[in-house]
């Protein structure tokens, strides 16, 4: 089973930082050269994009032969993915470049699994291989590696095998970071505490509305995150309109794209972990997530679901949910959620309901939260176990750029369950 350790990398001196920057910059230059050659080959119908020049002689002295190989392999993987998507008619664009020296390159490299080592403990450290030219210039011995301090607690300090290490400079946070893929034994994962079920309604304004068979409801809001996403998108469009003819991007635009994606991914990843921890504590063993394909074809909320696809990167988010759920022994199943967003839980009607913002109303008198009602309907439709009546009010969560915390609008679970005067979310 594959997982990833993420940690901060800290040079121990100005010389070490300069060496690391040189290593990452040379990798970016190598990527750009390989990528340019493949762009040229792609434009030539008689050429093969995978038939490229030999770069070890030019870059091996700085990067080391194994790192040259890994950068080329990563670029090859990007092109294979592009060509596969192009064949399906889904490709968005050819693999991009990592900037230039004038505007600033995207500093990044890939280290083969046998060319680095990580030691965890009180003084955690990372050692990576560098080329002989850099060793001579910075006074490293023939068998010595660049040693860097590691900060951060790994999710998986014990593993069976490590994969290709990715080291990069995070310009938004002004620090070096690393991703270490690892393979672990499934016996180290948690097991469900019971056999309860849950259903998730993944949406646009509220990222996730969850209902469990125990009657718990959780709501993760996303309006503030979307507003910031939209502001960044507008700024990107403004900067693009000012580019000289023939130019399509700039270093600043690329930084904004990266910042927008990182901000979204960080919120999604934190949500997935917070949600699965809570569902595991609730005894959930199976989670149902709606497939949006049939909804996009049949539902009145096409605009909202398109927003879910474009802004929240629905497929990536579901993959992250499934990956995190696996750590807790929870199974994620994608099921049809067609009409759940407009079905009245009281009378079952789908043509007499009206949705306005977060509210779903029906001519029969029903009045409830649209996304939470959809998750409850979704759960009752697919769950084989009995579903308890939801608590009086859901637990709401808001994102503060670091973690998901309970909103002051939420009633405490005990208060919600014991106050007979509080109407249920579904208004029943």
Please say if the pLDDT value at position 361 is more than 60: yes
pLDDT tens-digit readout, 132-187? 999 999 999 999 999 999 998 888 888 889 999 999 998 777 899 999 999 988 77
pLDDT for residue 415: 37
Task: Taking residues 285-299, report their average pLDDT.
Answer: 67
Nearest in space to 202 (alpha carbons), one of 327, 325, 328, 309: 309
297 has a pLDDT exceeding 60: no
Q: Higher pLDDT residue, 18 or 203?
A: 18
In contact, 15 and 146? CB cutoff 8 Å = no
DSSP tag of 125: E
Output the pLDDT for position 392: 63
Q: What is the pLDDT of residue 412?
A: 46
Average pLDDT over residues 264-286: 93
**What average pLDDT does this structure show over 397-417?**
69
pLDDT averaged over every residue in the chain: 85
pLDDT of 15 over the 90 cut: yes
Q: Between the ranges 146-150, 315-319, 339-343, where is the mean pLDDT highest?
A: 146-150
The winner for highest mean pLDDT among 73-77, 158-162, 225-229, 382-386 is: 73-77
Residue bearing the bigger pLDDT, 173 or 423: 173
Tokens coding 182: 């690892």
pLDDT digits (tens, 9 = 90+) for 193-247: 899 999 999 877 788 999 999 999 999 998 888 888 889 988 999 998 988 887 7
Confidence of residue 115 (pLDDT cuts 50, 70, 90): very high
- For residue 343, the model assigns a pLDDT of 86
150 phi-psi bin (left φ>0, alpha ψ -120 to 50, beta other) = beta
Q: For residue 122, name the pLDDT band (cuts at 50, 70, 90).
A: confident
Give this prediction's pTM.
Answer: 0.69
| pLDDT for position 53 | 93
| Cα–Cα distance measured from residue 171 to residue 107, given in angstroms and rounded to the nearest whole number | 9
């Amino acid at each position: 089973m594959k997982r990833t350790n993420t940690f901060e990398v800290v040079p121990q001196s100005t010389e070490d930082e300069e060496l690391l920057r040189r290593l990452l910059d040379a990798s970016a230059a190598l990527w750009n050269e390989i990528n340019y050659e493949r762009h040229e080959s792609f434009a030539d119908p008689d050429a093969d994009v995978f038939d490229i020049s030999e770069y070890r002689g030019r870059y091996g002295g700085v990067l080391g032969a194994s790192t040259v190989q890994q950068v080329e392999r990563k670029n090859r993987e990007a092109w294979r993915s592009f060509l596969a998507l192009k064949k399906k008619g889904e490709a968005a664009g050819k693999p991009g470049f990592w900037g230039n020296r004038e505007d600033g390159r995207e500093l990044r490299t890939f280290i083969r699994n046998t060319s680095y080592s990580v030691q965890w403990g009180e003084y955690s450290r990372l050692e990576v291989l560098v080329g002989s030219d850099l060793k001579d210039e910075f006074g490293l011995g023939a068998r010595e590696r660049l040693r860097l301090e590691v900060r951060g607690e790994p999710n998986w300090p014990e593993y069976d095998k490590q994969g290709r290490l990715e080291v990069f400079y995070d310009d938004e946070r002004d620090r070096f970071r690393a991703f270490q893929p690892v393979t672990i034994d499934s016996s180290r994962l948690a097991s469900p505490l019971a056999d309860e079920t849950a259903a998730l309604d993944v949406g646009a304004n509220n990222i996730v509305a969850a209902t469990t068979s125990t009657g718990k409801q959780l709501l993760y809001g996303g309006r503030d995150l979307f507003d910031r996403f939209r502001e960044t998108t507008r700024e990107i469009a403004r900067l693009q309109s000012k580019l000289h003819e023939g130019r399509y991007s700039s270093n600043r635009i690329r930084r904004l794209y990266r910042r927008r994606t990182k901000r979204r991914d960080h919120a999604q990843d934190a949500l997935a972990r917070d949600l699965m921890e809570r569902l595991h504590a609730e005894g959930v063993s199976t989670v149902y997530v709606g497939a949006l394909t049939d909804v996009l074809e049949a539902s009145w909320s096409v605009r909202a679901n398109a927003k879910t696809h474009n802004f929240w990167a629905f497929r990536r988010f579901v993959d992250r949910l499934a990956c995190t759920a696996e750590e807790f022994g929870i199974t994620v199943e994608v099921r049809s959620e067609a009409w759940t967003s407009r079905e009245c839980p009281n009378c079952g009607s789908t043509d007499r309901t009206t949705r306005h913002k977060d509210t779903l109303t029906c001519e029969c008198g029903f009045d409830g939260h649209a996304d939470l009602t959809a998750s409850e309907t979704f759960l009752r439709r697919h769950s084989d176990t009995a579903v308890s009546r939801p608590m009086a009010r859901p637990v709401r969560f808001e994102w503060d750029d670091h973690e998901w915390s309970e909103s002051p609008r939420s009633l405490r679970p005990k208060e919600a369950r014991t106050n007979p005067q509080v109407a249920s979310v579904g208004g029943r």
